[in-house]
Structure 1
């Protein structure tokens, strides 16, 4: 008797991990629409490579594919379409409570955002992030430290409960 088909395996993986991978993409690109596109593009690449991927490295492969796609999306020039139509009313003002995580994340370089996302959103260890991104563990540690220092300087109320050592 054979196991589930590759298509069924992929669908199960996508349903289970797709939302988390989309969140990682969002932290890197800071736009939900672009994060959707990045995740879809990464999943397409993942699907094409599905038969060749070892199941024990599937998570790392998927995360790295999403992060690489997200960083590539940031580097690609955007196609913006200007419009002659201006809205009738201005957008409502949003109260400034001094805690704007999105603005603070925008201050980080794309790789730092990816590392922070994988460390704290996906709860990966330093070694796992290094393996997922193909960088040295020291790079993960230094980029995490610099990224968190930047976030803390712009978000003084930010509290992290994990010891980073």
Structure 2
């Protein structure tokens, strides 16, 4: 069914050039498609960057967008994957008042039950880190919210495919 909206993880291998992020995001913007998350990092090949973008659109729209992204001069290759084809994680950190850690036993239980970890504690605040699926991060946010979150930051999705990607050979040739 062409019109069905699904969540896709887009992987774009690129040269690392100024302005490319703007041009890639403009491809989505022109079609009025919201980017749910975006992450950029170096890839497994020296000198090649990797964009990981999450969007909710139809497969027909996705194919058109991949075609447009592939036309960018600095883009080596773009791919899209469904949720079942990827292994992914998100990370987040919460800053909370330190007295909560010692006065609210429930906070310690929430941290333990969610497999989060405390990364720093001082007199004014403590910081919790959590990595996991979007739903796990959302749940921890909901559980901590009633206690007062001072600051919250969340990463974009990071993902790898379950199946081998043929891009590795292409990237190796690009690097030579």
Fold similarity call, TM over 0.5:
no
TM-score (norm 1): 0.24
TM-score (norm 2): 0.23
